[in-house]
């Protein structure tokens, strides 16, 4: 069993418990449930930088990244830096995140917010909407084609953008369908945790141009983005590179985007 299998198993138990505690009717009555969402896909299409900046305290591959920052400061900093959107990790056990982080980020900025989560149930999309998200992540490695179709169509019915993440050719081919907005290529090998931008390059030609192409993991330099742009990538998810500094938004992301736009 690899790390993704472990996380998914735990997530099924966690979601079953959450469904018992908070009924869907309660989520649907939340103040944020009816808000007009902001499209990350549109932001990326119209951006020079294409940066999606992440709030992430820790990860299974790197353990603690940064536990000393509050979400409010990070969100405000990212917005001031001029990023296209913000990704918020809401998994608690493996990444140290929570839905409250999403809520805090929503109160602190006007960026499109991606709920970065291991989604295995429609209930989690109702949560995302209720806590202020604009975008959900679907991970092809843990979902069947039917589930990807079901979940992405349900997300669209909630006016949420859908980012579908793949790691290889097989996952990509089972995933392509009209109810997706963005196709993300994760450059990290889930078995070895090794990262290679070649994954994004190899898969780029097989992603139809109807979708916004997003490259994820291992993007730690302006050069990496400039290397990937000719392959059609318009979005770049950056987490650890900003989060490992003392000022992810204010200094780190601002300097990065300034360099990129030179």
pLDDT at 258 over 70: yes
CB-CB contact of 207 with 175 (8 Å): no
| pLDDT recorded at residue 31 | 96
Quick: pLDDT tens for 70-93: 899 999 999 999 999 999 999 999
Quick: pLDDT tens for 19-68: 999 999 999 999 999 999 999 999 999 998 999 999 998 787 667 666 77
Give residue 210's pLDDT band: very low, low, confident or very high (50, 70, 90): very high
Say whether 186 is catalytic.
yes
Say whether 56 is catalytic.
yes
**Catalytic residue of the set 11, 59, 87, 116:** 116
* Mean pLDDT, the chain, integer: 94
| pLDDT recorded at residue 239 | 81
Could you give the CA distance from residue 166 to residue 169 in angstroms, rounded to a whole number?
Answer: 8
| pLDDT recorded at residue 64 | 67
Q: What is the CATH number of the domain that holds 71?
A: 3.20.20.70
Say whether 165 is catalytic.
yes
**Catalytic residue of the set 11, 56, 129, 213:** 56
Mean pLDDT of 179-201: 91
Say whether 159 is catalytic.
no
Mean pLDDT of 175-180: 97
**Catalytic residue of the set 43, 49, 54, 171:** 54
| pLDDT recorded at residue 187 | 95
| pLDDT recorded at residue 68 | 72
**Catalytic residue of the set 59, 66, 108, 217:** 217
Quick: pLDDT tens for 120-170: 999 999 999 999 999 999 999 999 999 999 999 999 999 999 999 999 999
Say whether 216 is catalytic.
yes
Range of the domain at 47: 3-261
Task: Report the number of distinct structural domains present in the chain.
Answer: 1
Q: Give percent above pLDDT 90 in the chain.
A: 83
């Amino acid at each position: 069993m690899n790390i993704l299998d472990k996380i998914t198993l735990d997530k099924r138990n966690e979601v079953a418990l959450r469904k018992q505690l908070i009924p869907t009717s309660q989520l649907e009555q939340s103040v944020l449930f009816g808000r007009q969402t902001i499209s990350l896909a549109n932001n990326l299409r119209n951006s020079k930088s294409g940066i999606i900046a992440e709030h992430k305290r820790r990860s299974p591959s790197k353990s603690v990244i940064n536990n000393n920052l509050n979400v409010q400061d990070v969100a405000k900093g990212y917005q001031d830096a001029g990023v296209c959107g913000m990704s918020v990790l809401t998994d608690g056990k493996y990444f140290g995140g929570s839905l409250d982080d999403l809520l805090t980020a929503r109160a602190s900025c006007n960026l499109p917010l991606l709920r970065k989560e291991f989604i295995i149930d429609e209930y989690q999309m109702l949560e995302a909407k209720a806590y202020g998200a604009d975008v959900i992540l679907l991970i092809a490695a843990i979902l069947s084609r039917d589930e990807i179709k079901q979940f992405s169509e349900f997300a669209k019915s909630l006016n949420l953008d859908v980012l579908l993440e793949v790691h290889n050719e097989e996952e990509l081919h089972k995933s392509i369908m009209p109810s997706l907005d963005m196709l993300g290529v994760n450059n990290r090998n889930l078995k070895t945790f090794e990262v290679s931008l070649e994954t994004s390059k190899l898969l780029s030609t097989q992603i139809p141009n109807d979708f916004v192409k997003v490259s994820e993991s291992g993007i730690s330099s302006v050069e990496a983005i400039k290397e990937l742009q000719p392959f059609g990538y318009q979005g770049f998810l950056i987490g650890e590179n900003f989060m490992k500094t003392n000022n992810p938004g204010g200094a780190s992301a601002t300097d990065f985007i300034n360099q990129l736009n030179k």
